[in-house]
């Protein structure tokens, strides 16, 4: 377990234009390591969606990445408002994003379902008023 590559990012909730910096960096590292292109894309899309969610809904948060020889763990944790109804939030097309976010090209209600689609495993821990933690696992084939 000690030979994993660890990455940590603080995601600012202040500036929407900077959303995606963490995901972009993770993508760069995976490329440098020489990961398979499909895996890199899956990780990139899932992490980017989660990072966007963090900025839109939770005023930022932290992203921790652990790269092992056979899998990648990514934990995205925020101290935002939490998700009231996870089952509903997982439905395609359901969104609580405000209109100004839609004008930026997001908030179609595809974020969480899309994260689930691209990650091999996804766990959501959330509590209203406390925050949300999303745990993602990707297998390296």
Residues lying near another protein in the complex (CB under 8 A): 16-20, 23-24, 27, 37, 41, 44-45, 48-49, 52, 92, 104-111, 113-114, 117
CA–CA separation, 87 vs 9, rounded Å?
28
Our CB check for another protein shows the closer of 113 and 131 to be 113
For the purposes of burial, counting CB atoms within 10 Å of the CB of 70, is it exposed (0-12), middle (13-18) or buried (19 or more)? exposed
Our CB check for another protein shows the closer of 69 and 93 to be 93
Our CB check for another protein shows the closer of 36 and 127 to be 36
Structure tokens at 81: 């408002």
Nearest to 118 by CA among 134, 95, 132: 134
- ∠ CA 108-81-101 to the nearest 5 degrees? 30
Nearest to 43 by CA among 12, 58, 21, 65: 65
| Closest distance to another protein from the beta carbon of 125 (Å) | 23
| Closest distance to another protein from the beta carbon of 56 (Å) | 11
| Closest distance to another protein from the beta carbon of 25 (Å) | 11
| Closest distance to another protein from the beta carbon of 138 (Å) | 14
Our CB check for another protein shows the closer of 29 and 45 to be 45
Structure tokens at 140: 């390296």
């Amino acid at each position: 377990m000690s030979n994993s590559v660890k990455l940590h990012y603080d995601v600012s909730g202040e500036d929407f234009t900077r959303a995606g910096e963490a995901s972009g960096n993770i993508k760069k590292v995976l490329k440098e390591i020489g990961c398979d292109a499909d895996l890199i894309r899956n990780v990139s899309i899932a992490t980017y969606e989660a990072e966007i969610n963090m900025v839109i809904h939770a005023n930022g948060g932290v992203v921790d990445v652990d790269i092992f020889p056979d899998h990648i763990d990514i934990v995205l944790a925020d101290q935002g408002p939490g998700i009231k109804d996870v089952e509903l939030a997982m439905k395609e097309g359901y969104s609580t994003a405000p209109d100004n976010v839609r004008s930026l090209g997001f908030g179609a209600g595809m974020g969480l379902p899309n994260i689930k689609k691209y990650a091999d495993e996804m766990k959501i821990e959330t509590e209203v008023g406390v925050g949300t933690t999303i745990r993602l696992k990707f297998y390296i084939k």
